[in-house]
Amino acid sequence: MGCLSIDTDRFATRFEEFSEIGATDDGGVNRPALSPANKRARDTLIEWFQSAGLAVRIDTMGNIFGRRAGTDPDAPAVMTGSHIDSQYNGGRYDGVVGVLGGLEVLETVRDENIDHKRPIEVVAWSNEEGVRFQPDMLGSGVYCDVFDEDYAYARTDDDGVAFGDALSAIGYDGDAPCSADDLHSYFELHVEQGPYLEREDRSVAAVTGVFGFSWLTVTLTGQANHAGPTPMTMRRDPLAAFASITDRLRSITATTGSDLVATVGSVDVWPDAINVIPETVEFTVDLRSYDDAVVDDAVAQLHDEIAHAANREDVEFTTEEIMRVNADPFDQSCIDTVTNAMERLDCAYTTLVSGAGHDANYLNTVAPTSMIFVPSVDGVSHRESEFTEWSDVVTGTNVLAETIRQRATE
Amino acid sequence: MGCLSIDTDRFATRFEEFSEIGATDDGGVNRPALSPANKRARDTLIEWFQSAGLAVRIDTMGNIFGRRAGTDPDAPAVMTGSHIDSQYNGGRYDGVVGVLGGLEVLETVRDENIDHKRPIEVVAWSNEEGVRFQPDMLGSGVYCDVFDEDYAYARTDDDGVAFGDALSAIGYDGDAPCSADDLHSYFELHVEQGPYLEREDRSVAAVTGVFGFSWLTVTLTGQANHAGPTPMTMRRDPLAAFASITDRLRSITATTGSDLVATVGSVDVWPDAINVIPETVEFTVDLRSYDDAVVDDAVAQLHDEIAHAANREDVEFTTEEIMRVNADPFDQSCIDTVTNAMERLDCAYTTLVSGAGHDANYLNTVAPTSMIFVPSVDGVSHRESEFTEWSDVVTGTNVLAETIRQRATE
């Protein structure tokens, strides 16, 4: 038989309409988890699920599922999906491509009268981005038993509002159990959020796994003093140590492992005055590689640099690894299904490892999982200017359709 | 005749009592300008001025003067003093030593029945520290015509309260004109706020001048992106450029001039998230030397480093010199008067250049001026742990007494 082919116009119309919800002036969307705009997006999604003939359920974490029954009432479901919450002033593709793409696949399966044994579900996970409630990926995390629901409900935003209260406030504290009891496999279509597909001029990738990472917080404590009368030789300046350590991260990435990336993203200086030598500098380090040993080595080298700089500047230091996640290879049979679909569709494809975490990581702990990436122009994500060529979105969604058909019918 | 000798016990009792006003648990004081604690300190000071027989006046900037008439009713006044506002949770010596020391000198002059031709005034300047209202040294600045009074009144604190409104709210918007119409000379006793006196084991110093400085703000703008999927080679990371520039400041101080000090005190990173490559980094640089050409050279070298790092990291940059003050040599005859007093008192003394600015800098523009420094233990200032041995405070105040006597009687 020929390959499934989605309805490009229907998909594009829906995508444009969805992009209007919480739209920003600069072409992005502002729909953080459980915000009014996120509620409107949820309402719209459910309306579309229902009009597509899907059985809708909302679980106790507010995850939204649309289900199409299979011919075998006892078979576990093949699931696809992603998320519809956004960064503050984020992009319109991140997450949405996977959710609306999944819906489009289910409509195509219906239109083509595909006879599938297994049920197929499309899901929108709650609070993937983690910008309003930390940690991120709360909805899929509870579903996969990574977090207790009580823990998730108690997470608060910057205004002290708990996730559980915000969820019931928008009416999305559903009744369905939030647990992965009956899952055959999971496939997530997502934008790459990196430059590789564009650089290699490919339209789509099978994702073979996700980088492991270490998140560290470092505190350097010296002695605040007046910037004028304190000679350079008598300073205990934590900011000088910080600058040296951060500068050396480039050397660590250059020598430790070819795929290692290192980022200092957050810095807090106290007392933060133009004419006062700082007393404390707190900063974060994000170290990632697909090789856990490379992350280990980078953490060790970072500690050496911190100790060396702190000794030279005569400042105290503490370090804490606040999160450590090992590299996460996806299921080979799922990767093969995606690859085979790309072959059949004759796509310009490749395979990639993802530098960013996704709901698929948690799903991978409960069911065979893989992902499909489409290109991010200029590698940009988490910004209003995030963009993916529509032809690439279509290619990725056709790959998803073929993948889901294969898995649901086999 | 012998030298004047202050009443050590009277001075110590007053100093301890004054230190209770706005006292913090860790031995400092919290008396920012025009705060309730600053008002109580003002009230106490006026009470003491009056009981010392001084004619008190409060000018339109809230500067408080205590005046002892001389035998020549037409002679310009010899003035001494400093400030009684503090940093937030600052030290008890900064400023207070000069104000209460001046009061003690005037009481000693009275007790010893010194026959002085010129009037002698002791002053407490408003808003020297500049922590609540910027810029600092507002009271002496208006007095010396550096700032317009309207400008000073309109300065607002972080809550939007204007200086003029805060001044009238505590009842210190006085009637006396704020201008230096009738001034013979000015001498300010102050803690060093640096390590040199302690390091050279001296009790007191004649201050020959004050460092010039440049204050710069630098903004680096790159491209925010996800810390995971963005390879090192494709980043436009302003924080990497910032770290490199800050690290190189050490090389600039090592090669540009022996007295150059360079400080990065304030840093602001956006969006400031652990897993996002920053988009912008704003930071400040404070460059000081007693040689204006050295400051010029350091500014030029800093610009080179910024341009070089920005080019390498592919980030945009802007720099602004928000303040530039030239080195300020004090009046040689005033320096000589202080030096002669130290000689007569047989002190362990030296001469110093101040790295920090003082009200004396503005007074130096309207009348012959010098300063007297006493040691700061460990060079610490602007902190609750700020400390000066009492014997050194006494030595410095005796030098001030001799200086004032010399100038008021000559």
Using a CB-CB cut-off of 8 Å, the residues of chain A touching B237 are 263
Q: Which candidate in A88, A198, A215, A232 is best for mutational testing of the B interface (most B CBs within 10 A)?
A: A232
Looking at residue A207, its amino acid is V
Are A193 and B234 a contacting pair at CB < 8 A? no
Mean pLDDT of A387-402: 98
Q: Which residues of B touch A86 (CB under 8 A)?
A: none
Number of domains in chain B: 2
Q: Which residues of chain A lie closer than 8 angstroms to B196, CB-CB?
A: 229, 231
Classified as helix, coil or strand, B195 is: coil
* A1 belongs to a structural domain: no
| CATH of residue B217 | 3.30.70.360
Q: Could A226 and B269 be called an inter-chain contact, meaning their C-beta atoms sit closer than 8 Å?
A: no
Condensed to tens digits (0 to 9), the pLDDT of residues A77-115 reads 999 999 999 999 999 999 999 999 999 999 999 999 999
Chain B interface test: which of A267, A280, A384 (most B C-beta within 10 Å): A267
Model confidence over A120-163: pLDDT tens digits?
A: 999 999 999 998 998 999 999 999 999 999 999 999 999 999 99
Consecutive H or E run containing A219: strand A212-221
Two structure tokens written together for A46: 């459910």
pLDDT at B2 over 80: no
pLDDT of B382 reads: 86
From B327's Cα to the closest Cα of chain A, the distance in A is 12
Separation CA B393–CA B91 (nearest Å): 14
B395 within a domain of the structure (yes/no): yes
Helices A36-51 and A96-111 meet at what angle, rounded to 10? 10
Instruction: Give the chain A residue nearest B199 (alpha carbons).
Output: A234
Closest alpha carbon within chain B to A281 = B267
If asked whether residues A238 and A276 sit together in one domain, one would say yes
Cα distances (angstroms) measured from residue B306 to each of A99, B150, B217, B269, B296: 45, 37, 12, 17, 15
Q: Does residue A211 contact residue A288 with C-beta atoms inside 8 Å?
A: yes
Structural domain boundaries enclosing B346:
8-210+328-409
CB atoms within 10 A of CB A265: 22
CA–CA distance, A80 with A338 (Å, rounded to integer) = 13
How deeply is A112 buried, as exposed, middle or buried, from its count of CB atoms within 10 A (0-12, 13-18, 19+)?
Answer: middle
* Cβ separation A243–B246 shorter than 8 A: yes
A261 contacts B275? CB cut-off 8 A: no
What distance lies between CA B145 and its chain's CA centroid? Answer: 18
Q: Are B223 and B216 in contact (CB under 8 A)?
A: no
Taking the complete model, does pTM exceed 0.95, yes or no?
Answer: no
Last residue in a domain, options B299, B325, B351: B325
Chain A contacts of B232, Cβ < 8 Å? 250, 253, 260-262
**What CA–CA distance (Å, rounded) separates A91 from A113?**
34
Strands B120-125 and B261-263: unpaired
Residue A334 buriedness (CB in 10 A; 0-12 / 13-18 / 19+) = buried
Residue whose entry in the numeric block shows the structure tokens 């917080």: A217
- Taking an 8 Å cut-off on Cβ atoms, the answer to whether B267 and A269 are in contact is yes
Kindly report the average pLDDT of chain A as a whole number.
Answer: 96
Contact present, B363 and B144 (Cβ < 8 Å) = yes
* Burial class for A23, CB neighbours closer than 10 Å (0-12, 13-18, 19+): middle
Please tell me whether residues B251 and B124 are part of one structural domain.
Answer: no
Distance from CA of B400 to the nearest CA of A (A): 22
Please give the pLDDT value at position A185.
Answer: 98
* A192 has pLDDT over 70: yes
How far is Cα of residue A47 from the mean position of the Cα atoms in its chain?
25
The answer to whether B193 contacts A226, with C-beta atoms less than 8 Å apart, is yes
Beta bridge partners of A300: none
3-state secondary structure of A46: helix
User: CA-CA distances (angstroms) from residue B55 to B67, B122, B397?
Assistant: 5, 10, 22
d(CA B66, CA B122): 5
Closest CB to B227: pick one of A227, A239, A286. A286
Report chain B residues whose CB lies below 8 A from the CB of A91.
none
How far apart are alpha carbons A189 and A200 in whole angstroms?
19
Any idea what the CATH number is for the domain that residue A170 is in? 3.40.630.10
Q: Which two tokens stand for residue B93?
A: 């010596």
Searching chain B, which residue's CA lies closest to the CA of residue A375? B229
Contact yes or no for A228 and B379 at CB 8 A: no
The CA distance from A196 to A202, in Å, is 9
Whether A259 and A289 have beta carbons less than 8 Å apart is answered as: yes
Which among B223, B236, B264 is the top mutation candidate for probing chain A, defined by the most A β-carbons within 10 Å of its own β-carbon? B264
Are B11 and B34 spatial neighbours (Cβ–Cβ below 8 Å)?
no
pLDDT at B340: 97
Is residue A58 domain-shared with residue A195, that is, in the same domain?
yes
What's the rounded Cα separation, in Å, for the pair A322 and A335? 31
Please check whether residues A340 and A302 belong to one and the same domain.
Answer: no
pLDDT in tens, B218-259: 999 999 999 999 999 999 999 999 999 999 999 999 998 789
* Distance separating alpha carbons of residues B379 and B197, to the nearest angstrom: 9
Cβ partners under 8 Å of residue B340, min gap 6: B406
Task: Kindly determine whether residue B213 and residue A226, on different chains, have CB atoms separated by under 8 Å.
Answer: no
Q: 3-state DSSP call for residue B92?
A: coil
- Return the DSSP state at B2: P
A269 contacts on B by Cβ (under 8 Å): 265-267
Same domain, A19 and A152: yes
Chain A residues touching residue B278 (CB < 8 angstroms): 265
Residue of A nearest to B194 (CA): A229
Average of per-residue pLDDT across A225-252: 95
Q: How far is CA B142 from the centre of its chain?
A: 16
Same domain, A333 and A321: no
The domain boundary residue, chosen from A282, A309, A325 = A325
Q: Which residues contact A43 (CB under 8 A, 6 or more apart)?
A: none
Report yes or no: B7 and B136 within 8 Å, Cβ to Cβ.
no
3-state secondary structure (DSSP) of residue A299: helix
Contact between B227 and A192 using a beta-carbon 8 Å cutoff = no
Residues of A in contact with B244 (CB under 8 A): 243, 247
pLDDT digits (tens, 9 = 90+) for B368-398: 999 999 999 999 988 899 999 999 999 999 9
Closest CA of chain B from A227, distance in Å: 6
Residues 6+ apart with CB under 8 A from B201: B348
Pairing relationship of beta strands B55-58 and B64-68 according to DSSP bridges: antiparallel
- Pick B354's closest partner by Cβ from A229, A240, A253: A229
Beta bridge partners of B324: B214
State mean pLDDT over B125-141.
94
Helices A96-111 and A8-19 pack at an angle, to 10 degrees, of 150
Picking from A213, A189, A228, A2, the residue whose alpha carbon sits closest to that of residue A100 is A189
Residue B270 has pLDDT above 70, yes or no: yes
Q: How confident is the model at residue A197 (pLDDT cuts 50, 70, 90)?
A: very high
**C-alpha–C-alpha distance, residues A11 and A9, integer Å:** 5
Spell out which residues of chain A touch residue B192, defining contact as CB-CB under 8 Å: 229
Determine the average pLDDT of the residues in B348-371: 96
A202 and A216 part of one domain: no
- Interval B182-210: pLDDT, tens: 899 999 999 999 999 999 999 999 999 99
A361 in Cβ contact with A190 (< 8 Å)? no
Q: In the prediction, which pLDDT does A1 show?
A: 57
B292: its two tokens: 């204006």
Tell me whether residues B247 and A250 touch, CB distance under 8 A.
no
Kindly state the average pLDDT of the residues B17-29: 97
Q: Which of B107, B98, B187 is CA-nearest to residue B397?
A: B98
Is B277 in Cβ contact with A272 (below 8 Å)?
no
Q: How confident is the model at residue A258 (pLDDT cuts 50, 70, 90)?
A: confident
Name which of B274, B285, B361 to mutate to probe chain A: the one with the most chain A Cβ atoms within 10 A of its Cβ: B274
Q: Whole-number mean pLDDT of chain B?
A: 96
- Residues A276, B284: C-beta atoms closer than 8 Å: no
Two tokens at A365?
């702990």
Q: Which residues of A touch B357 (CB under 8 A)?
A: 228
Claim to verify: residue A295 and residue A180 sit in the same structural domain: no
Contact B193 A355 (CB under 8 A): no
Contact A225 B355 (CB under 8 A): no
Mark whether B34 and B98 lie in a shared domain: yes
Answer whether residue A320 is part of any domain.
yes
Interface probe for B, chosen from A218, A246, A275 (most Cβ of B below 10 Å), is A275
pLDDT band at B3 (very low <50, low <70, confident <90, very high): confident
Asked if the model's pLDDT at residue B1 lies above 70, the reply is no
Phi and psi of A84, rounded to 5°?
Answer: -120, 5
Alpha carbon distance B357, B211 (integer Å): 8
Residues of B in contact with A263 (CB under 8 A): 227, 237, 275-277
Last residue of a domain, one of B282, B300, B325: B325
pLDDT cut 70: percent of chain A above it: 100
The answer to whether position A354 is within a domain reads yes
Joined together, the tokens standing for residue B128 give: 């020297």
Structure tokens at B337: 């008067």
Q: What pLDDT was estimated at residue A163?
A: 98
Report, as an integer, the average pLDDT of A312-333. 97
- Residue B317 forms part of a structural domain: yes
Amino acid at B63: N
Percent of chain A with pLDDT over 90: 93
Dist. CA A383–CA B270, nearest whole Å: 13
Of B102, B86, B83, the closest CA to residue B187 belongs to B102
- Judge whether A250 lies within some domain: yes
Q: Which residues of A touch B158 (CB under 8 A)?
A: none
Cβ-contact A92, A28 below 8 angstroms: yes
Distance CA B8, CA B14 (A): 10
Q: Do A109 and A224 fall within a single domain?
A: no
Give contacts of A261 with chain B, Cβ < 8 Å.
Answer: 227-228, 230-232
Task: Based on the fold, state whether residues A223 and A238 are members of the same structural domain.
Answer: yes
Cβ neighbours, 10 Å, residue A54 = 22
Distance from CA of B340 to the nearest CA of A (A): 25
Dihedral sign for Cα B223, B228, B231, B232, please: positive
CB contact under 8 A, A194 and B231: yes
Do the chains contact at B227 and A284, CB–CB below 8 Å? no
DSSP states of B264-311 as a string? ---EEEES--TTEE-SEEEEEEEEEESSHHHHHHHHHHHHHHHHHHHH
Identify the DSSP state of A32: -
B152 with B223, same domain? Answer: no
- Joined together, the tokens standing for residue A150 give 């009580």
Q: Taking CB atoms and an 8 Å limit, are B380 and A225 in contact across chains?
A: yes
Judge whether residue A257 has pLDDT over 90: no
Q: Which whole number is the average pLDDT over B343-361? A: 96
Closest CA–CA distance from residue B163 to any residue of chain A (Å):
20
Question: Which residues are CB-neighbours of A254 under 8 A, at least 6 positions away?
Answer: none
For the purposes of burial, counting CB atoms within 10 Å of the CB of B204, is it exposed (0-12), middle (13-18) or buried (19 or more)?
buried
B1, part of any domain:
no
- Interface probe for A, chosen from B230, B384, B385 (most Cβ of A below 10 Å), is B230
Among A119, A79, A93, A82, smallest CA distance to A29 is for A93
DSSP A95: T
Let me know if residue A394 belongs to a domain: yes
